Amino acid sequence: MTKQIKLGFSTGCLYKNLEVKEAILVIKNLGCKFIELGFSKADRFFSNQLDRITKEDLDGFEYVSFHTPTLNYGNNEETKKFFERINKFNQIRELDLLVFHPDKVEDFSVFNNTNLNIGFENMDNRKQSYKSVAEMKNIFLKNENYKFILDVNHCYSNDRSMNLAKEFYEKLGGKISQVHLSGFKELHDPLFETKQLEIIRAIQNLSVPIIIESLLTSETIKKEKDYILQNI
């Protein structure tokens, strides 16, 4: 690899064909040192897929983030069960970042009494809120320790010019701890197919982990990695 880029994948890239534990191995065998465990679906998070992951599975990764399930986070039993489960998993491997969708949060104060690294990502054009710089900025005013996950696919879905991504870097660049990357035609499409270089090149800071979220198979995942490295 000629460029020292912190490039990795979400296990969610392979969810249609593989369980999370199996996806971890595919990503590890690619030589990636950066990974996001994709548990955005609540049923997957509360299933035995999470329980099956061992410390050995994650050995060798420099960075492990965790995409949390879509729940109504607040003062409720579901949120309590989430934290019990995630704290237990964190003992297996200390997570570098928890990724949340802010539009599903009912009460942000539930994140204040945890030692876990909490981050929020900007939303896509299907959502009613947290798509703009101003809305995201309001989150970080609540707690200076919150991190920002910049999703450039979501930026593109809202603004094909990618000026929105530029504005995020201008106004919140110092908060960006991770980037989500994928092509956009319908949702999270492979960039080697969409050829959307404007999405790849909207990433201004290559020193933070870049997690690919394109929907792939174990046969196409290397093609996506190579295409991005050739064009970033």
What structural domains does the chain harbor?
Answer: 7-231 (3.20.20.150)
What pLDDT does 1 receive? Answer: 36
Beta strands in 13-146, from DSSP E residues, in sequence order: 34-38, 63-67, 97-100, 118-121
- pTM (whole model) above 0.75: yes
**Whole-angstrom distance, CA of residue 63 vs CA of residue 60:** 9
DSSP string, 61-76: -SEEEEE-----BSSS
Distance CA 211, CA 224 (A): 12
d(CA 131, CA 87): 29
Spans of the chain below 70 pLDDT: 1-3
The reported pLDDT for the residue numbered 2 is 41
Residue 186: predicted pLDDT: 86
